[in-house]
Amino acid sequence: MTNKKYDVVALGELLIDFTENGLSEQGNPLLEANPGGAPCNVLSMLQKLGDKTAFIGKVGNDGFGHLLTKAVQEQGIDTTGLVYDNDVHTTLALVLKKENGDRDFAFYRNPGADMNLKEEEVNESLIASSSIFHFGTLSLTDESVKKATQKAVKVAKENGLTITFDPNLREPLWRSLEEAHEQVAWGLQQADVVKISDNEITWFTGMDNYDEGIAFLQKEYPNLKLICLSMGGDGSKAVYRDVHVAYPAFLQEATIETTGAGDTFCACMIHTVLENGIDHLDEEKLKEMLKFANAAASLVTTKKGALRVMPTKEEVETFIENFKR
């Protein structure tokens, strides 16, 4: 896509998502250890779209940490920037499905290796040799990893990278929602592009009307060139300067869980920015982006997990072609 060594470098959490997978003969819940963490889900989808990616983060020097490294490498993601912690275990999350299909998260992360990434462990040359730097707020919850993230963003800016941001709010991981709000605000100040969900924009702006929420972000953060809003079953919106585009969701009965849908959408957004450049988007390109991103996200909801099951470009295009509204 570009003449840089990497198209996208992401920094953040890499963890094991324990997801429900039926019951044992004794009636106990069976849990599957899925590789998880939003940044690598995003990178995995970008790899499927033909982009070159690398990850910066930390896992424990334990069985789960090595399992995660292998899973990430299998997707073609460069792990030069992944470091091991000899003292702290790999972060774990228990993901339980609510009756309405939404997810309930319980994290085993106090401490967890991902929050222990230090600023001196950030691989600056990886960032310098990329076109886009992507991050979220799970790497802003604790002092050590926050400093590492701030340093990475600084290096990205110094090297002229486009910066993409996904708040990806996980309430249980914050000491207070006030602190979460502060860090999301910091992330928004750094970014050129943001992908935000419907519940996040309402929480952050205090506005129930999404268009008003987007207008608020545009006014408060004039650095944001592209704002994408994912609304689950209600589809998505993109606002680029004064161009507003919306596209409906691809709803299907085969949906089993929503893990990774937002990350898949986010990757398709980043891919569009990569292909066209942040200053060369228009209504037609944004509409195509939302259509493709919504379809890709819909496909992921029909599979368990996320990292290992991202669809190919051809699978998404075929799905769009055959979809009946």
Give the number of other Cβ atoms within 10 Å of residue 78's Cβ. 20
Give the tens place of pLDDT for each residue, 255-273. 888 889 999 999 999 999 9
Q: What CATH topology corresponds to 6-322?
A: UDP-N-acetylmuramoyl-L-alanine:D-glutamate ligase (3.40.1190)
pLDDT at 124: 98
pLDDT at 28: 96
Pick from 113, 122, 100, 324: which is nearest to 233 by CA?
100
Distances (CA, A) of 180 to 30, 36, 122, 141, 171: 33, 21, 23, 8, 8
Give the tens place of pLDDT for each residue, 153-171. 999 999 999 999 999 999 9
Phi, psi of 53 (to 5 degrees): -130, 160
Instruction: Confirm if 55 and 82 have CB atoms less than 8 A apart.
Output: yes
Pick from 148, 130, 129, 128: which is nearest to 138 by CA?
148
pTM (predicted TM-score): 0.96
> What do you get for the CA distance between the two ends of the chain, in Å?
33
pLDDT at 2: 59
Q: Using CB atoms within 10 Å of the CB of residue 216, give its burial: 0 to 12 exposed, 13 to 18 middle, 19+ buried.
A: middle
Please list the ranges in the chain whose pLDDT falls under 50.
1
Give the tens place of pLDDT for each residue, 77-101. 999 999 999 999 999 999 887 777 6
- The full set of domain ranges for the chain reads 6-322
